[in-house]
Structure 1
Amino acid sequence: MRRLYFAAITYTVLGLVSGVFFREFTRATAFTGATQLGLVHTHLLALGTLMMLIVLALDLTLGLSGSRSFSWFFTTYNAGLVVTAGTLVWHGLLQVAGQDAGPAVAGIAGLGHILLTIGLGCLLFSLNRPVRARLAATETER
């Protein structure tokens, strides 16, 4: 639970800092077009902070953090989010500089999204046993 809490704090700080960076960097360079830098803020806050808080609530309710699949979720999901956010920053900086990103950036971003998907699958797998146990307990009480 502690790791989830600190991950939520970290993603909140990174999300807020990335929003300020986007605003100030594009203003300082007088950039007026669309850029991937604006997406970093929302990705970190939604996929980072909100997801970690939701999973923290699930962990408090169902006790997920003891399973091996939960550890796989936490590691894989966070790695995927860091890769995805890093690629968004890289692509956004290239856009502001007026350079083409090329296929390598898209490939690395795809890898980040694949890791996020694997992490979500591990989370769903780790939910299976506690949810079934909770349902069985509810049926027994009736």
Structure 2
Amino acid sequence: MRRLFTASFVYLVAGLLSGLFYREFTKLNGFPAGESTQLGLAHTHLLTLGFLVLLVVLVLERMFGLSRSRLFGWFLWTYNAGVVLTAAMLVWHGSLTVLGEQAGPMIAGIAGLGHMLLTAGLVLLMTALGRAIGRERADAPEPAELAA
């Protein structure tokens, strides 16, 4: 549970700092307000996919003991790699946009890989959660045992 809390806290700080970077970097470079850049998306991705999702997983861990599953470790590494890779590509692409540079197809490809890792991580999480719920159901007393 400590790892989940720490990771969630790190994403909170990273999300807030990315929002600060977005605001100051665009201002410093005279980027027109209201123009589209992916820097703002990095802020929301880090806060939502990093901070909030891992807080929900922390509650699920507390309720169902997800970390007892071997899949949970795979989820944690895969999902975090996806969040970091996706956010890094958003910052890179957004920074290039603010500087007036063109982003090549490599950035889109790497961002796509980040999204694939996020998807794989979520599949691992749901599989681990399904198994934990099944394990809990199997351990629950039968209705006849409750009446006795």
Q: Deviation at 1:128?
A: 1.8
| Inter-partner Cα distance in structure 1 for 2:142 and 2:16 | 47
Please name the residue that 1:71 is paired with: 73
Code of the aligned partner of 2:142? T
AA of the residue aligned to 1:41? H
TM-score normalised by L of structure 2: 0.91
Deviation string 1:117-136 (CA, Å, 9 cap, x unpaired) is: 00001101111221113334
> Quick one: which amino acid aligns to residue 12 of structure 1?
L
Supply the RMSD in Å over aligned alpha carbons. 1.3
Residue 8 of structure 2 aligns to a residue whose secondary structure is helix
Partner of 2:115: 113
Cα deviations across residues 5-46 of structure 1 (Å, max 9, x unaligned)?
A: 000100000000000110011011110121000111100000
Within a 5 Å distance, the mapping from 1:79-94 to structure 2 comes to 79-94=81-96
State the alpha-carbon separation in 2 of the partners of residues 133 and 67 from structure 1: 11
2:55 counterpart residue number: 53
Gaps of 5+ in 2: none
Deviation, 1:138, is 5.0
The equivalences for 1:1-142 within 5 A come to: 1-32=1-32, 33-137=35-139, 140-141=142-143
CA distance in 2, matches of 1:40, 1:47: 10
Distance 2:37 2:121 in 1: 27
**So what's the TM-score if we normalise by structure 1?**
0.95
Counterpart Cα distance in 2 of 1:43 and 1:50: 10
The alpha-carbon deviation at position 137 of structure 1 amounts to: 4.7
Gaps of 5+ in 1: none
**1:52 partner SS:** helix
Report the Cα distance in structure 2 between the residues aligned to 1:66 and 1:10, rounded to whole angstroms: 24
What secondary structure does 1:89 align onto?
helix
